[in-house]
Amino acid sequence: MLASWLLATMILLAPNRDHRVLAAAMANVINSQPALFKNDPTKQRTAALISAINFREGSLQPGVKGDKDKNGKFTSFCSMQIHLPFGAKTLEGWTGEELVGDPEKCITVGLRMLRESMRMCPKHPVAFYAEGRDLKTCDSPRAQKISNDRMFLAARLVKEVPWVEEDVRTSTDRPEPALWAIPAAVYAPRLSGAEAR
């Protein structure tokens, strides 16, 4: 169910692209870890925030690279734009190129960083993720604006993308995530202003 719902959010945000690989990676990682929020038994709110961040940071493209240092080398990697300057590695020991090549590694790192960000800045949960240097980040107007945007978009996804329980009898012979499980209503409407940064 989670993979299909994520796929629906991604089609809404960035239509006319195949998001199945990234949606499956997100669902696998989210399902394997505790939810980011209390009272999130289906992990829908967690998935919505991951989807919103992937959309704003990497345009829902797993292999994206962004930001460059003064020598022209990339410093941010994958759809969650994990900042790894000067050849740094994640706490898990992964390079930026490994994150670009494996969406599950990208989402794993992003989810860990979000959990830390929410602990550091409870009033603006994505602020530390956005600018994470120290606790002053929580008071940064820029980081707060980014946090508010990602949280607002996630809340809209929860509100506007239907959560439909799958019929186990008809889903066993179809791979996940599948377009058949996405409510038709998702294809027509678009989130107004969702693509504006």
Domain with 10, as residue range(s), is: 2-184
Print burial letters for 157-170: b (CB count within 10 Å at least 16), e (below 16). Answer: bbebbeeeebeeee
pLDDT tens column, 26-43: 999 999 999 999 999 999
Query: Within 10 Å of residue 132's Cβ, how many Cβ atoms?
Result: 17
Q: Does 177 fall in a domain?
A: yes
Angle at 30 between CA 37 and CA 9, to 5 degrees: 85
CA dihedral sign, ordered 52, 56, 59, 63: negative
Residue 76 phi, psi dihedral angles, 5° rounding: -125, 135
pLDDT beyond 50 at 194: no
Strand-strand pairing, 82-83 and 74-77: antiparallel
Q: Does 197 fall in a domain?
A: no
Q: Does 194 fall in a domain?
A: no
What CATH number is given to the structural domain containing 120?
1.10.530
pLDDT beyond 90 at 45: yes
Domain count, the chain: 1
pLDDT tens column, 81-118: 999 988 899 999 999 999 999 999 999 999 999 999 99
Whether the full predicted model's pTM is greater than 0.85, yes or no, is no
Helix (H, G, I), strand (E, B) or coil at 132: coil
Q: Does 190 fall in a domain?
A: no
- pLDDT category of residue 163 using cuts at 50, 70 and 90: confident
